Structure 1
């Protein structure tokens, strides 16, 4: 059953690379725009030695994990954001009558190759962070080095799916979803210590965004959480990511069952 999705992906790639010059320009500009997020962090450290109690290389570790996780999720499942277009126009009906997964089709049909540049950039940044940051190496740290960015990808992927699924009940939900996807990307690129009060409790620990990059980075750096979270939580990002994926799958199935055709 994998072959139909691969054919859809190949068709998308061929179509997007048909005009090579245009494709290269889009790929380069897409990568450069993402680089601005990293530049922001360097600008901050040009006027401050520390950020929320963390040095430059330590923050770079946090940024590196987030810089891989979000673009990778955006590349793989970010296209599901177009669900609201399919619901509004009635095109989702055509998707549902095919003997394939609706979510799998949405992901494959609107696959955007140009986003791959962001993943390459995020990977390079993460590798640099592992080299320059004071990582406390151990067998557990070696495993977490691999699992942390993958867990971040799964977590953000779940956020994308949940945000898109809201369109089954509220079609014009795009901006609300963006607050948690793109807003979550920005939120996870900084130490949680720069936030405070109810905002930090809700987003960092209530919704789990602290497990994307902040807590795994603390584990790799051998630091306890200055906010006071138990040390064992630093290693729980894979479990939180799997839980988020389960919630997203349940929410998606609920949305599909409640879908009513537009009749167009």
Structure 2
């Protein structure tokens, strides 16, 4: 499956790179779009020294980890939110009769390598924030773990969104709000949100394990909501459970699907 994904992604990348000026401009545009989110954070800290008990560097660290994972997943599997278009056009039928998994084909269809600009921008912010914070080496091991965990959670959310479109074929904006909204939510410390919301994204939909719970461990901070300390290390478990749920939902959606006949 990985080999198939890589081959298809490389095909789309070569097609996009055939127009080098457009390719470079789109990457630069991605960096610029990401910079707008950072500008909002900087504007906030131009008028305060802390946001929800976090300094500017700490907020940028949370932004960088979530942004890096989100941008990578958006680039690789973000096209899963176009399942409803495939259903209406009848192109999903052709995916189902090909030897490659339909999930891989839908994810990599019209792969957009120019979204790498958002990845580059988020990684840059993360590196700058880490240099400013100075995370001790005994806690730094959590950073790659939390990014991989966040990628698994975001990919699972996109898979759930794609599965939902087998039912909600006329409401792709609803699932887009679900995926992109989660990415926006994770850009800020959860201490700025209400207690009930944080409970929901901790114990129901595990968005808190994208960067909030493991981020508290990296930064050496206590949870202002008083959650148990062991939750800082349960990100991979939460990601696995969500991945299993999304895989089940996708399989049920495919089984439920009836050909358009076109």
- Which of 152, 156, 159 is 2:157 aligned to? 159
- 1:253 is matched with which residue: 234, 251, 254? 251
Equivalent residue, structure 2, for 1:24? 24
Between 171-180 and 97-106, the greater mean CA deviation after superposition: 171-180
- C-alpha contact 2:195 2:225 (8 A) present in aligned 1: no
C-alpha distance in structure 2 between counterparts of 1:196 and 1:66, whole Å: 20
Number of residue pairs aligned between Structure 1 and Structure 2? 262
Gaps of 5+ in 1: none
Question: What's the counterpart of residue 97 of structure 2?
Answer: 97
Q: 1:5 to 1:59 in 2, by over 3 A?
A: closer
- How many Å separate the matches in 2 of 1:164 and 1:28? 29
CA contact (8 A) 1:166 1:173 kept: no
Give matches, 1:184-199, under 5 Å.
Answer: 184-199=182-197
The corresponding residue for 2:133 is 133
Determine whether 1:147 maps to 2:150.
Answer: no
Distance in 1, Cα, partners of 2:147 & 2:222: 20
Q: 1:178 aligns with which of 176, 179, 189?
A: 176
Q: Which runs of 5+ in 2 are unaligned?
A: none
Distance 2:179 2:86 in 1: 20
Selected match of 1:216 from 211, 214, 217: 214
Pair 5,195 (structure 1): closer, same or farther in 2 beyond 3 Å: closer
Match of 2:111 in 1: 111
| Superposition CA RMSD, Å | 1.6
Provide the rounded CA distance (Å) in 1 between the counterparts of 2:120 and 2:247.
Answer: 28
Rounded Cα–Cα distance in structure 2 between residues aligned with 1:222 and 1:201: 21
Deviation for aligned residue 1:204? 4.5
Q: For residue 17 of structure 1, report the CA deviation from its aligned partner.
A: 1.6
The whole-number CA distance in structure 2 between the counterparts of 1:194 and 1:52 is: 5
TM-score, with normalisation over the residues of structure 1?
0.93
Q: In the alignment, which residue of structure 2 is the partner of 1:122?
A: 122
Deviating 4+ runs (over 4 angstroms): 1-4
Corresponding position of 1:201: 199
2:73 and 2:4 map into 1 onto residues whose CA distance is: 21
Give a deviation string over 1:51-100, Cα, whole Å, max 9, x none.
Answer: 11111122122111111111011111111111111011111001101111
In 2 relative to 1, CA 244–204 (structure 1 residues): closer, same or farther, beyond 3 Å?
Answer: same
**Residue 64 of structure 2: aligned partner:** 64
Q: CA deviation at 1:241?
A: 1.5
**Is the contact made by 2:83 and 2:162 (CA closer than 8 Å) also made in structure 1?**
yes
